[in-house]
Structure formats: structure tokens, C-alpha cells
Amino acid sequence: MQSTYFKEQTALDSSSCQLEKLLQNTLIARQENQWVDQDTITKAKHQLQKNGWVLLRGFYHDLAAFSALVSHFCSKLTFDPAREFTNDTAQKVDAGTQAIGLHIENGNTPFPPDLVAFYSRKSALVGSQTTLCDGQQIFNAMPSHLLSLFENNMVVSRTLPEALWKRYVANEHPLIDDPEQVTQQRLQELMGMLPGQTGTVNDQGELYYRLCFSPILVNSQSGQRAFANAILGPSFNYQAPNYEFEDGQQLDEHTKSEIAVLAEQCTLELAWQDGDMVLIDNTRVMHGRRAIEGDPSERQLVIAMGSH
Ligand SMILES: [Fe+2]
């Protein structure tokens, strides 16, 4: 059986502390184009459990290899309907060129995936680093006034166009798989699967929905808590959501920027190399992106996500 080992990686603009954390979480192929083998999977699972994410570098890679890797970690796959579909388990990431704030993937939906994975088919020479932020670190560093605020449940609300919400319902409802099969009944059945959701469809077929969620997630195995949600995240593909606490108090800009400053202190930058594949615990670690510099076509990042 082939094995992998930890090795220092190049990170041009990382501090030594960042570099140390990056290499702690990196599995590098022993030989060029080594297949991801069982030993690598075992190590990756260990790293994911321990630190919340793991990077695989230098392994044989293509879309099929990436999909096969993800399938070792997920039994159920979730898709973002606003993104271009490329094969059974992976979608291209396409969200403009601006920086993207930290978020858990699909954090504003009723069923965020447990795991999100990225594969860099082609990496930009500069910029467009993916950012990774451990929500456990944020939780442990939160001052008491933020802790007491975010220990409360929150409500996200927004309006979604018909095509998007119908594709989401078709993907998530266990009895259907085609948006044309989505009816009011199927929508309400999906709403009923998770308490705290309400949805109404207007005359234009748009869905206005409200979803109650906890901005702090608890790891079912370790019991550790993490600030892991999408309140700092983007809304390129959808109308910007509104956030309020369960008692009706709006999330104000001052609180949001306090959290953003704290999160930035806990954020690592991952400078992609061709063929890199990263697995992220979406219940603990938030991700984002620095701005894309230069030609966006220099970069091809593929996303996959799913649940255990
Ligand atoms: Fe994302």
C-alpha cells in the first residue's frame, strides 16, 4: 500500500504561523500523480476530524478522481442549483471576481451539507486564494457580549426566483428529482421536514421564506461548538438575505463588522496549485475567497458537497 507524508508547501504570503497550520493540514503525494489510496483516505479523515479541513496535493487528479475522493466522505450529495452542473457530483465555482466573505456552504438553506470539497483544475498565478476559517477558533475567542448574542437562534429570510427554489426542492425532496414535479404539496412537505421554516409563493411564482437556524453549531462527536454560518457570506446568486435574531432584533452592521474582524484573525489563505483537492467540515470551518486578480479564466475551481 502506498502512503503519504506531511511536507512543507509553498505559501508566498503566509506568516510562519499560517504556514505551520497549512502544512499541518496538507497531505502530499509521495510520488507524482500518485492515486489517492486507502491510506490517504484514512489520514484525510483523521485530519478532517482533528482540524476541520485537509488539503491533498500532488495526487493524480481529474473530475472523476475528485468525485471518487468526495464519495469516500459523503453518502448523500447536495447541489447548489444556481451553479453550472459539470458531472454527477461536482459543479464549477462561478461567482464573479470580487472577494467572497466567509460562510458555510448553503448556510442559508434548510439542509447545509456536512462536507464541502474543492478541486483546482487550473490555478490562478496570483490572487483568488480560498480563505479558511475555523469556527471553533472564533467561538473560543468571542467576547462575552458577542457570545450571549449569538447563543440565540437567528432567522434568515429572502425571496427566491421560481426556477431556483423548484430545483432545490426537486433535489432535496426524497420522492422527486425533477423541478416539473414540484407542487405546493411537495414544497410544504419539504418545509415540514425541518421545524422553523415557513414559505409562501407569490403571484410571480417567487418563494418568500423564513428559516430559523443556530449561528453556533455543535459537533455531534466532540461536543465542541463553532461559529459556523453564512451571515458574512455572499449573495451573488440570490437576493441578499435579511438576518435577525429570534426576538426580532436585526443583526446590525456594527455587530457584523465585529464578527468579521474576529473571523479575519482566525483566517488562513490557501494559494492553490493545479490539482489541489481540499475537503472541509462544513459544520465547523467557513470558507471564502480573496478577490480574483487578472484573467478569471486562468482559474478553474470545481466544488462538490454532500452529507454523511
Ligand atoms: Fe462557498
> 6-25, pLDDT tens digit by residue?
333 333 344 677 778 888 89
CB 55 within 8 A of CB 22: yes
**30 CA from centroid of ligand 1 (Å):** 30
Instruction: Write out the H or E segment, with its range, that includes residue 258.
Output: helix 253-265
**288 CA from centroid of ligand 1 (Å):** 6
Number of domains into which the chain is organized:
1
Cβ partners under 8 Å of residue 130, min gap 6: 118, 269, 270, 272, 278, 287, 288, 289, 301
DSSP letters for 53-73: EEEEESB---HHHHHHHHHTT
**249 CA from centroid of ligand 1 (Å):** 27
Q: Which residues form the domain of 63?
A: 16-136+267-307
**180 CA from centroid of ligand 1 (Å):** 27
**Which residue's entry shows cell 486507502?**
38
Sign, CA dihedral 139-193-162-171, equals positive
Residues with a beta carbon under 5 angstroms from ion ligand 1: 105
Instruction: Report if residue 100 sits inside a domain.
Output: yes
Query: What cell was used for 224?
Result: 465542541
pLDDT at 79: 56
CATH number of the domain within which 60 lies: 3.60.130.10
Instruction: Report if residue 259 sits inside a domain.
Output: no
**37 CA from centroid of ligand 1 (Å):** 27
Instruction: Report if residue 147 sits inside a domain.
Output: no
Instruction: Report if residue 173 sits inside a domain.
Output: no
**289 CA from centroid of ligand 1 (Å):** 8
Instruction: Report if residue 191 sits inside a domain.
Output: no
**pTM for the full predicted model:** 0.87
**104 CA from centroid of ligand 1 (Å):** 7
**286 CA from centroid of ligand 1 (Å):** 8
Please state, in angstroms and rounded to a whole number, the distance separating the CA atoms of residues 20 and 9: 10
pLDDT at 212: 93
**103 CA from centroid of ligand 1 (Å):** 6
CB 283 within 8 A of CB 192: no
pLDDT at 4: 38
Instruction: Report if residue 56 sits inside a domain.
Output: yes
Q: In the chain, which residues have pLDDT < 50?
A: 1-14, 80-82
Instruction: Report if residue 222 sits inside a domain.
Output: no
What are 281's strand-pairing partners?
Answer: 115
SS (H, E, C) 179-215: HHHCCHHHHHHHHHCCCCEEEEECCCCCEEEEEEECC
**3 CA from centroid of ligand 1 (Å):** 31
**15 CA from centroid of ligand 1 (Å):** 24
Instruction: Report if residue 23 sits inside a domain.
Output: yes
Q: Which of these, 131, 103, 97, 95, lies nearest to 233 by C-alpha position?
A: 103
Query: What cell was used for 150?
Result: 449569538
